[in-house]
Amino acid sequence: MGELTATNLFESQTILADHKDLIHDVAYDFYGERMATCSSDQYVKVWDSDGNGGWRLTASWKAHHGSVWKVTWAHPEFGQVIATCSFDRTAAIWEEVGDTAASGSEKGLRTWLKRSNLVDSRTSVTDVKFGPKHLGLLLVTCSADGIIRIYEAPDVMNLAQWTLQHEIPTKVSISCLSWNPSLSRVVHPPMLAVGSDEPNTTNAVATVQGDKTTACNGKVFIYEYSESSRRWTRTDCLSSVQEPVNDIAFAPNLGRSFHLLAVATKDVRIIKIEPVAESAGSGNNGAAVRFKCEVVAAFEEHYSCVWRVCWNLTGTLLASSGDDCAVRLWKMQYLNQWKCVAVFKNEPVPGDSPPLSRPHTTYIRMATMANPSHMPFH
Amino acid sequence: MIPSNTICVSQEGPANALALNKDCSQVVIAGRNVFKVFSIGENDFSEVCNLRVGKNLNLNFSSIDVAWSTIEENTLATAATNGAVVVWNLGRSGRSKQEHVFSDHKRTVNKVSFHLTEPALLISGSQDGMMKCFDLRMKEVARTFISNTESIRDVQFSPHQAHTFAAVSENGNVQLWDVRRHERCLMQFTAHSGPVFACDWHPELPWLATASRDKTIKVWDILAKPNLEHTIYTIASVGHVKWRPQKTHQVASCALVLDCAVHVWDVRRPHVPLATFAEHRDVTTAIAWLADPHTFLSTSRDCSLYRHRFSEAAHPVLWANPHGVCLSPRGQLAHAAPERPLPALPARPPRAAPDRLVPGLGRKQPTAGSLSAGAQAALERAFPGGATSTLLRYSAPPHNALLQCAAHYRMRGAPPHVLAGHNANVARANNRHMVSHVWEVVRCVYEARAAGRGSPAPPRTMEPPRPEPPPLPPYTHTYNSAVEEEPLEEVEEWAETQFHNSGVLGKPTLSIYIPPSKPSKHARSLDDENSGWVSAASAHYMEESGEGCEGGLAIRVGDNRSPQLDVAPLLAAALRQHADLGDVQTPAVVMLVLQDHRSDLFPYIEESLQEHWLLGYIELLQRHKLWNIATEGCAHGGHLHHMRAWLQRHQLCPAGCAHRCQLA
């Protein structure tokens, strides 16, 4: 790691979230001006940027009857809409009502209404994501019993009506999913990646091998939608990922010829998925290989289980966080080498110490950058 | 899959209730079609006695609840659906063990409960809203307690005050009665907003736990005035609740509907169960701890009776994602992390690499029951305090070359080479030297074309060549180009002032750093390494194009009168390379700047990819709210130049809303 110098500091700000249990997800909206958090305390909170670096709580409500695992924003074209999913086996769609430009009620709080409750799952709903905007208003959920469900709001003005379009059984527990965000309708058909946290027991291997479609021990599966058959089919299984997967994220693809997929498993992985040209494949969709997959990076620096991965807007910078409570930033360097460019260490409190007396004002503290020369602006 | 130390037996019908004898060696289960006593062995249940025998299997055998006397070895009582309370004596000779039937209740009896010290006293709670105290010696009803509610769901004697019992009812009330006084209750309070289905006294503290359809378990301190101590939030109506012996803060519960599992909660962490036992395939109907905190029994509507070992629990907290990370389009990073993460597993000295962290408890548990005893104890200790997250936001100093470039690039109003020269300067001013390099190449190539020396230029207005691009600020010349003039500066200034505080993380800069250098105007050969390419990446895409040397020559075209070479494939490869590196701005803007010359690249860049680039760049600008115009009708925004460029080639809105757009 490079030297640490005092001039290369990231400003860090603690936000007093006041959730009563662990926060499981944080999501910025399309513009990065609003932020939603969700927690095991069954609450969802929405924070708005004041434009000067401060964040103000503008909504907080009990969204579910169980831990809320994920929260995600719809494209602003569809309004101020978020979706949540929970241990209580449901996913919900929420819309902010009233004039979003107004400053809200006297307490500064805005109202979010539950527009729809998706109750098809019989087990915990582990992830929820809106589809790329150009496909319409789509929502995909996945559940611990391994069923991927794709919903569509046929009328984007009516968020109360969602039709279950596809139900895809995967036969393994699914923990996370990611839409391929590619904007190109022509080149890239709708694509989903899902990650499984199924433990590697001998039993599980046996059942997987018994099934032809899952004859791969990988934990990451690629599904693609075929316009002609109107079905989602598993087109690939990434055999390079064999350990349970906690999070998965496609890099935004603003014009690349290939896709980058980040996987949080026992390490941080970046996998390059390159569509193989139609002519190069074996013609018809028989045993054609759709992709050339290559692990371009695997980092073990967290020395522990990696929980989350997240890309920046252009897919050039990856953030990961693991059990070491550090966030690491990874960036592609010379000759397609990915390197750690920064580490933000959030010092955990030892387990047996008494609860912290929380500061009642936000404070600034500085985090050091591991490798300043590799930061984008240096 | 059933963990190895869990044992199970199936019966002919579902059991509604179970009860243990006083030394916890035997269990009785009772339901509509089942009534059996099992002995609890080390590895199995063995049937001791089937009480559902005889000629006349009437409704007295259809049991809702069963109780086993805490004093008399052989005395059982059942609550029947027909309102009967039946007393059984296991010591009776003969097949039928039925001792006496009390038919005093008008409707279904929901619960029977023995007095903890008086062997002859039994109370019942019924759907008719009454409780009755039976004297087993006199075989008569000693007292009737009228609750004034529609129905009583549970009655439980207090372990702390010999004659006090609690009764819970469907209207959400809890009543405390003295078993000797039937006139009125000692205390009454509303505990829940919905029906209360069960209650359980804490074995040591004066606490009463109540379970309700409102999906909560509430813990009341009823020493003086009832005081709500804790509320546990579950995902479904709670049917039963039982305190875990010797563990002050832990309570087990099962749901009436929806959730088949048994959960053990720590009341200090009310949103996440400490342990979950998910063996049952249908809802659990009853739970009972054996005297120790490590074992309990449960029956279910799936017709099974289980003995669970606590060591084989699943711990949902180990599966839950404790971190949240998000990078905003403005380059900020939000990170939510547990304030006190779960402790590391007790170190295993052999084989663990010395400089490595021992994987913590926080990692995913492979299967239920795989934690060692020490790890489970550590988890139990750390669990109640682990409920806080820290939410941190990191932001870098505002600096964003992408936005600066977006604001200052010119795309129109001049021939390509002039625009390219301007844009090269913009890129260089923002330290994006490789991008600047690309612009220089474009400038040189099209400058040569514009000079009209041996170039097969497409039909357009010829411009006098400009040997050196003028420095910033922008040009004052008017060009006779075919494209109309636009009020560029206004637009750009607006954008510039708007976006000062954008973070740096979102910047798609190129990772290969080229020092500010002289533009490579002279031909170089690839083998001349030292004086060679300033940019390794440019070498890279030269290689890709397979025309490395010609690439160098192409740049020279402007200076020398070399044979005209086709620069298009090279430029196309360069643009693709930039797109692959995550910089869509360069290819998109180059395509726009080329104007009519764009067609040169068509053989090398398919239209769908061009569209992809444009859409990508528009999305990028949208994310930063760098639009200044909305289209008429659908009100979708976009950067003016890009919108115009798009609408030259397309009729539909670039936002994909299928609106036929016109610029406002």
Tell me the per-residue pLDDT of B405-459, one tens digit each, with 9 for 90 and over.
Answer: 888 888 888 888 899 999 999 999 888 888 898 999 889 888 888 776 444 444 3
Same domain? For A298 and A348 the reply is no
In a domain, B652, yes or no: no
Domain of residue B600, residue span = 401-626
| Residue A272 predicted with pLDDT over 70 | yes
Question: Rounded distance, CA B65 to CA B237, Å?
Answer: 19
Same domain? For B279 and B415 the reply is no
- Average confidence score pLDDT of chain B: 77
Query: For a pLDDT cut of 90, what percent of chain B falls above it?
Result: 40
Tens digits of per-residue pLDDT, B145-185? Answer: 999 888 999 999 999 998 999 999 999 999 999 999 999 99
CATH number at B166 reads 2.130.10.10
Same domain? For A270 and A248 the reply is yes
Q: Say what the pLDDT of residue A201 is.
A: 60
Query: For a pLDDT cut of 70, what percent of chain A falls above it?
Result: 78
A205-228 mean pLDDT: 69
Chain B residue nearest residue A266, CA to CA: B363
B13-32 mean pLDDT: 93
Beta-bridge mates of residue B277: B262
A358-370 mean pLDDT: 36
Same domain? For A143 and A209 the reply is yes
Amino acid at B552: G
A97-124 mean pLDDT: 78
| Residue B460 predicted with pLDDT over 50 | no
Most confidently modeled range among A304-308, B14-18, B411-415:
B14-18
Six-digit token string for B149: 């509610």
Q: Please answer yes or no on whether A35 and B392 come within 8 Å at the CB atom.
A: no
Q: Does B590 touch chain A (CB under 8 A)?
A: no
Amino acid at B119: P
Tens digits of per-residue pLDDT, B616-625? Answer: 888 888 888 8
Domain of residue A204, residue span = 21-333
| Residue A317 predicted with pLDDT over 50 | yes
CATH number at A197 reads 2.130.10.10
Same domain? For A246 and A374 the reply is no
Q: Say what the pLDDT of residue A368 is.
A: 41
A165-171 mean pLDDT: 93
Name the one residue in this structure whose structure tokens are 């390159």.
A274
- Binning pLDDT at 50, 70 and 90, where does residue B580 land? confident
**Per-window interface: B 592-631 vs A, CB < 8 A:** 608-609, 611-613, 615-617, 619-620, 622-625
Which of the residue ranges A35-49, A102-116, A278-292 would you say has the lowest mean pLDDT?
A278-292
Q: Does A286 touch chain B (CB under 8 A)?
A: no
In a domain, B123, yes or no: yes
Q: Say what the pLDDT of residue A376 is.
A: 41
Closest-CA distance, A353 to chain B, in angstroms, reads 9
Six-digit token string for B83: 């309102």
- Binning pLDDT at 50, 70 and 90, where does residue B223 land? confident
B571-586 mean pLDDT: 88
Element (H, E) at B618: helix B607-623
Q: Say what the pLDDT of residue B140 is.
A: 92
Tens digits of per-residue pLDDT, A221-246? Answer: 999 998 889 999 998 888 888 888 99
Chain B residue nearest residue A127, CA to CA: B321
Same domain? For B458 and B312 the reply is no
In a domain, B350, yes or no: no
Same domain? For B301 and B449 the reply is no
Establish, for the pair of chains A and B, how many residue pairs have beta carbons separated by less than 8 Å: 322
The pTM assigned to this predicted structure is: 0.81
Which residues from chain B sit within 8 angstroms of residue A363, using beta carbons?
none
Chain A residue nearest residue B619, CA to CA: A254
- Binning pLDDT at 50, 70 and 90, where does residue A99 land? low
- Binning pLDDT at 50, 70 and 90, where does residue B114 land? very high
Q: Say what the pLDDT of residue A45 is.
A: 96
- Binning pLDDT at 50, 70 and 90, where does residue B557 land? very low
Out of B331, B363, B382, name the one closest to residue A304 (CB).
Answer: B363
DSSP SS3 for B614: helix
Question: Rounded distance, CA B460 to CA B589, Å?
Answer: 20
Same domain? For A7 and A39 the reply is no
Q: Please answer yes or no on whether B624 and A31 come within 8 Å at the CB atom.
A: yes
3-state per-residue secondary structure call for B331-372: CCEEEEEECCCCCECCCCCCCCCCCCCCCECCCCCCCCCCCC
Among candidate residues B269, B293, B317, the one where a domain is terminated: B317
A353 conformational bin, left if phi > 0, alpha if psi -120 to 50, beta if neither = beta
Same domain? For B297 and B420 the reply is no
| Residue B589 predicted with pLDDT over 80 | yes
Amino acid at B160: H
A107-112 mean pLDDT: 79
- Average confidence score pLDDT of chain A: 81
Q: Please answer yes or no on whether A25 and B340 come within 8 Å at the CB atom.
A: no
Question: Rounded distance, CA B23 to CA B68, Å?
Answer: 11
Which residues from chain B sit within 8 angstroms of residue A27, using beta carbons?
324, 326
Beta-bridge mates of residue B8: B306
Same domain? For B541 and B409 the reply is yes
Q: Does B352 touch chain A (CB under 8 A)?
A: no
A289-307 mean pLDDT: 85
Question: Rounded distance, CA A112 to CA A101, Å?
Answer: 14
Tens digits of per-residue pLDDT, B318-370? Answer: 888 889 999 988 888 999 988 887 775 543 433 333 333 334 434 444 556 67
- Binning pLDDT at 50, 70 and 90, where does residue A86 land? very high
Q: Does A319 touch chain B (CB under 8 A)?
A: yes
More confident residue, B347 or A182: A182
Q: Say what the pLDDT of residue A222 is.
A: 93
| Residue B492 predicted with pLDDT over 80 | no
Give me the sheet containing A91-97, strands edge to edge.
Answer: A68-73, A81-86, A91-97, A111-118
CA dihedral (A175, A270, B337, A365) in degrees, to 10, reads: -160
Q: Say what the pLDDT of residue B562 is.
A: 44
In a domain, B356, yes or no: no
Interface test with B, best of A172, A325, A330, A345 (most B CBs within 10 A): A325
3-state per-residue secondary structure call for B562-625: CCCCCCHHHHHHHHHHHHHCCCCHHHHHHHHHCHHHHHHHCCCCCHHHHHHHHHHHHHHHHHCC
More confident residue, B500 or A191: A191
Q: Say what the pLDDT of residue B657 is.
A: 55
Question: Rounded distance, CA B590 to CA B391, Å?
Answer: 41
| Residue B487 predicted with pLDDT over 70 | no
Chain B residue nearest residue A376, CA to CA: B509
Same domain? For A180 and A223 the reply is yes
A127-149 mean pLDDT: 94
- Binning pLDDT at 50, 70 and 90, where does residue A342 land? confident
A350-354 mean pLDDT: 44
Same domain? For B43 and B148 the reply is yes
| Residue B250 predicted with pLDDT over 50 | yes
Out of B321, B333, B540, name the one closest to residue A327 (CB).
Answer: B333
| Residue B541 predicted with pLDDT over 50 | no
Q: Say what the pLDDT of residue B25 is.
A: 93
- What ipTM does this complex have? 0.85
Question: Rounded distance, CA B127 to CA B154, Å?
Answer: 10
Q: Please answer yes or no on whether B359 and A304 come within 8 Å at the CB atom.
A: yes
Query: For a pLDDT cut of 70, what percent of chain B falls above it?
Result: 72
Same domain? For B305 and B410 the reply is no
Q: Say what the pLDDT of residue B627 is.
A: 64
Query: For chain B, how many structural domains are there in total?
Result: 2
Query: For chain A, how many structural domains are there in total?
Result: 2
B529-536 mean pLDDT: 35
Same domain? For A142 and A43 the reply is yes
Six-digit token string for B333: 């990073």
Same domain? For B308 and B426 the reply is no
Q: Does A363 touch chain B (CB under 8 A)?
A: no
Q: Are B327 and A312 in contact (CB under 8 A)?
A: yes
Q: Say what the pLDDT of residue B567 is.
A: 79
Question: Rounded distance, CA B509 to CA A376, Å?
Answer: 6
Q: Are A274 and A258 in contact (CB under 8 A)?
A: yes
Q: Please answer yes or no on whether B337 and A258 come within 8 Å at the CB atom.
A: no
Same domain? For A375 and A314 the reply is no
B319 conformational bin, left if phi > 0, alpha if psi -120 to 50, beta if neither = alpha
